Amino acid sequence: MVDDLKGLSAEFARDPDSLVFLRLGEALRMRGEIEAASRVAQTGLERYPDLPEARDLYARILVDGGQIGEARQVWWGILEIEPRHLGANKGLGYLWYGDGDLDRALEHLETALAADPTDQSVVQALRVVRMAAAEAEEMPPAPAIFEGLEGADHGLLLVDQRGRPLGGGLKTPQGTPVADEVAAYLGGVGDEAQRAARLLGLGDWQWLVTESEDGNLHLTRPTEGSLLLVVRDRSVPAGRLTYLAAKANEAARSWLEAQQL
Amino acid sequence: MTVQFQGVLDAITRVRGVRGAMMVATEDGLVVADTLMEGVNGKAVAALAASLFQRLRQATAAAGIGRPGFVHLQASEGGLLALDPGGEVLLVAVTDPEVNVGLVRLEMLRASEVVK
């Protein structure tokens, strides 16, 4: 492997316009050298910005580096050019499966299989997702925290104080699930809000509203150890957002109390 | 502090229930200009408002809704408002709990036209 890497690096240095960056980037990725792999992939992309294989390599490196949202964007970009691209469909299939969206996972993996029916990794992944889908159909639905509330699966998110999602869901205006990423940041926002309120002599913080470029956000504390986020597009006025947050807050508090019994 | 900045901050603090208003450097949380009532710690307000704003910026970016423009933190004994005019400073106001937030926001938006 080391010899392979040396050879590929030498070849890349000798002829930076060649496609050897694809093999070198993949070899570095497989060795876990994410930063080096990313540099190589980005160098290749500068020369071949529209090459689907270069973008696919970069997306896989992004996933290994934990940049799931960015990887998803890169794969979507490939599908705009080449809708049946094997790597992009495979990658998106895995990501949707990770998000628990089995229908979308199946859709992408079946397209990937159609692109290359001999790809055993796709065959295996499809088997796993189909089994999960069959089990999901047999299971009774889990009690939903925000059942009946507007935006329960894409604009209401309950997290614990350490930034772990407890329920609900959150998607970007483009439909990308982002509950895990946003939850991770919310713990810090809650801590900072509390610190600011206390140090400025404002007492305990109660809620926080943010008007942003493409949406409004309302953050509150249903209980001492939890945070509730409500996100809506800018057409929803602040007053209505507060009303929605109050309803969701009530539902979240009841659910949290039931968990402690 | 220029007379121009003093004027816009004075307009915000004239709203009943506003304890102070200030301009804060977004990145380092330093005070650029202020008009504060006695007892309000300007340096602390600046640092904490900038820090909270930066944390929120990460969260709103992750949620795909872009950069925060206006932030209202409500606490049991008062509130903290911050408005980003789109440059390198934030406009910040510290308020009593029962303040008319709509009015303060309006004055801050007017002030942002001067600060931009």
Which residue range is the domain that position B94 belongs to?
A: 3-115
Give mean pLDDT, residues A228-255. 89
CA distance A67 to A195: 29
Q: Which pair of tokens denotes residue A54?
A: 């270069």
Grade residue A143 by pLDDT with cuts at 50, 70 and 90.
Answer: low
Q: pLDDT tens-digit profile of A20-39?
A: 999 999 999 999 899 999 99
Please enumerate in sequence order all residues whose Cβ is within 8 A of that of A227, keeping only pairs 6 or more positions apart, or say none.
A158, A159, A160, A161, A186, A187, A189, A190, A219, A220, A221
CA distance A223 to A191: 14
Interchain contact, A172 vs B65, CB within 8 Å = yes
**Based on the structure, what is the number of domains in chain B?**
1
Indicate if A155-259 has the same CATH topology as A2-138.
no
A208 contacts on B by Cβ (under 8 Å):
56, 71-74
A189 contacts on B by Cβ (under 8 Å):
52, 55-56, 59
Nearest CB partner across the interface for A209, out of B59, B72, B77: B72
Q: pLDDT tens-digit profile of B14-36?
A: 999 999 999 999 888 898 888 88
Grade residue A260 by pLDDT with cuts at 50, 70 and 90.
Answer: low
Nearest CB partner across the interface for A197, out of B55, B66, B73: B73
Report how many Cβ contacts below 8 Å link chain A to chain B.
122
Which of B74, B104, B108 to substitute to test the interface with A, most A CBs within 10 Å? B74
CATH 1.25.40.10 assigned to domain A2-138? The reply is yes
Interchain contact, A210 vs B56, CB within 8 Å = yes
Grade residue A134 by pLDDT with cuts at 50, 70 and 90.
Answer: confident
CA distance A258 to A215: 32
> Cβ of B65 under 8 Å from any chain A Cβ?
yes
Residues of chain B with pLDDT below 50 are 1
Of all residues in chain A, the one with the smallest CA distance to B97 is: A202
User: Domain holding B25: CATH number?
Assistant: 3.30.450.30
Q: Which pair of tokens denotes residue A190?
A: 């809650």
Please enumerate in sequence order all residues whose Cβ is within 8 A of that of A71, keeping only pairs 6 or more positions apart, or say none.
A59, A60, A62, A63, A91, A95
pLDDT for A166 equals 87
What ranges make up the beta strands (E) of B1-116?
18-25, 31-36, 68-75, 78-83, 89-95
Interchain contact, A188 vs B45, CB within 8 Å = no
The superfamily in CATH containing domain A155-259 is: Dynein light chain 2a, cytoplasmic (3.30.450.30)
Domain limits, chain A: 2-138, 155-259
pTM listed for this prediction = 0.63
The complex's ipTM works out to 0.90
> Cβ of B2 under 8 Å from any chain A Cβ?
no
